[in-house]
Structure 1
Amino acid sequence: MHVGPFVFRPGRWPTLVTITLLPLLIALGFWQIDRAHQKEALIADRESAAAAPALQLNAGLPRPEAGLHRLARATGRYDSEHQFLLDNQTRDGVPGYRIITPLRLEGSDAAVLVDRGWVAAPPRRSQLPDVTVDATTRTVHGRLGDGPSVGLRLGDAYHGDGSWPRRIQYLDFDALVPSLPYTVPPYLLRTGAAAKKARPETMRFGPRRHYGYAVQWFALATALLVIYIGVNTRLKGRHERD
């Protein structure tokens, strides 16, 4: 191909490499843009939920899709005999557990799982912390969530002899809820600092970083195309001498 004083004559291998990598780089850029849009929608949903009035769980348990990230309050009694200890939860480098306790709702046969906070692990792995809580009636305020995120789910959520409290590796409501003698919805009422987080646990970073990654992928695609054209283009005189 002749373009003014230049001759464009692509080689076989540069062409194969370019037609393989260029669509991939472009696709990765658009994938990052799509991820950014998903994060923006997630943030918008979270902000909308935070602005909504607090749910009264004693009046009825909402569906997960309608209740997640909403402020909520519940009145009832903690079931100290059926508690879960979520393992591998560190704080300032100290290993520990998050205490997950069912709150038996007053005037209802159901309960809601409450994330009561963090506790340090005893020195020995065979020991469990004392997480006993009295059964007085109380009103718990917090935010509904789906629990701490999990990178890889290796094996079952629970291993043990059936005793309580139960040490669990991750939250799997389908596996844990059947062990309780009452109805429990598949979400947590998170109290304290966990309820004040501005973003869901699943969000490691916001949409701006995804847009930044998209720019990087598109820049690589552009650089590949420029290099491909550059290495395969010669001046007419030079081409004739070569």
Structure 2
Amino acid sequence: MQFGNREFRPRLWPTVATLILLPVLLWLGFWQLDRAQEKREIEQRYTEQQSRPAVGLNRLDPADKIEYRRVTVRGHFADERQILLDNQIHQGQAGYHILTPLQIEDSHRYILVNRGWVNGSMQRSKLPEVNTPDDAVALTGRLKMPAGIGIKLGDQSYTDTDWPRVVQWLDIQELEKETGYELYPYILQLDEDQPHGFVREWKIVSSSPEQSTSYAVQWFTLALVLVLIFIFVNSRKIDHAEHERK
């Protein structure tokens, strides 16, 4: 194939490499665009829920789409089955999110209350001391699906019998077996101005939609550069004297 005074002759290995890498780069770009759209939808859903007044937890149906809904709930903390969610970072420091089961007033059901972040010790065996009120409490917060909290790395063992229990992620069904409590399917993230909590800087998404869009542009740019390099390395200037001899 000839373009002006240059001839394009694709060679085997550059062609194979390009055919492998180009779809990967394009897939990564479109994946980041999908991530950006997903984050926009989460932010929109969050904004819609936050614009509504807080409602009593017992008035909601867990089967409905109630994530990020602001709720109020009364009950007693059950600190004998406290859970420490590991690998939580705040201002560059590693620590835990403290999740304390709250028995909902006039109910046999419990809800895990994320009371916020506490600093961890350099000695992993030394767990933070957490003060929990014995009296009935009235709390306000927002509902969050457990899947949005923590990092899931490999299989998690629940064989440890000590409490408080350190976990790497939250599995409501497994925790029901371990605690013996019937747990509400959502976590309650305690409002920042509520008592009985610790450091609370709740994030809606881990990064902004704009950042994902920026990543997508970078992947698409790399795909374009790959195509240009492929064309360049497989093109050569035509030697007119050689061409005439042929």
Give the match for residue 215 of structure 1: 217
Give the match for residue 85 of structure 1: 84
Q: C-alpha separation between the residues in 2 aligned to 1:182 and 1:152?
A: 23
Give the match for residue 183 of structure 1: 182
Deviations 1:77-113 (A, max 9, x none): 2223322233344545655433211211112221211
Structure 2 residue ranges without an equivalent (≥5): 193-198
Distance 1:183 1:61, change over 3 A: farther
Secondary structure of the residue that 1:184 maps to in structure 2? strand
Superposed structure 1 runs of 4+ greater than 6 Å apart: none
**Displacement after TM superposition at 1:226 (Å):** 2.1
Given that 2:29 and 2:220 are in contact with CA atoms closer than 8 Å, whether structure 1 keeps it comes out as: yes
Give the match for residue 25 of structure 2: 25
Given that 2:88 and 2:150 are in contact with CA atoms closer than 8 Å, whether structure 1 keeps it comes out as: no
Q: What are the equivalent positions in structure 2 for 1:126-205 lying under 5 Å apart?
A: 126-147=125-146, 149-156=149-156, 158-160=158-160, 162-193=161-192, 197=202, 199-200=203-204, 203-205=205-207
Amino acid at match of 1:186: P
Q: C-alpha separation between the residues in 2 aligned to 1:97 and 1:104?
A: 22
Amino acid at match of 1:43: E
Given that 2:115 and 2:190 are in contact with CA atoms closer than 8 Å, whether structure 1 keeps it comes out as: yes
State, as a whole percentage, how many aligned pairs show the same letter: 35
Figure out how many residues of one structure are paired with residues of the other and give that number. Answer: 237
Q: C-alpha separation between the residues in 1 aligned to 2:70 and 2:241?
A: 73
2:228 to 223, 226, 229: 226
Q: C-alpha separation between the residues in 1 aligned to 2:89 and 2:38?
A: 29
Normalised by the length of structure 2, the TM-score is: 0.79
Q: C-alpha separation between the residues in 1 aligned to 2:168 and 2:115?
A: 17
Q: C-alpha separation between the residues in 1 aligned to 2:95 and 2:174?
A: 22
Q: C-alpha separation between the residues in 1 aligned to 2:241 and 2:140?
A: 78
Give the match for residue 68 of structure 2: 69
Q: C-alpha separation between the residues in 2 aligned to 1:40 and 1:20?
A: 31
Q: C-alpha separation between the residues in 2 aligned to 1:88 and 1:235?
A: 61
Normalised by the length of structure 1, the TM-score is: 0.80
Decide which structure has greater strand share: 2
Secondary structure of the residue that 1:76 maps to in structure 2? strand
Distance 1:100 1:239, change over 3 A: farther
**Displacement after TM superposition at 1:49 (Å):** 2.0
**Displacement after TM superposition at 1:166 (Å):** 2.6
Deviations 1:147-197 (A, max 9, x none): 56333424425442x343333333221211223344211221111437663
Structure 1 residue ranges without an equivalent (≥5): none
Give the match for residue 243 of structure 2: 240
Q: CA RMSD in A?
A: 3.0
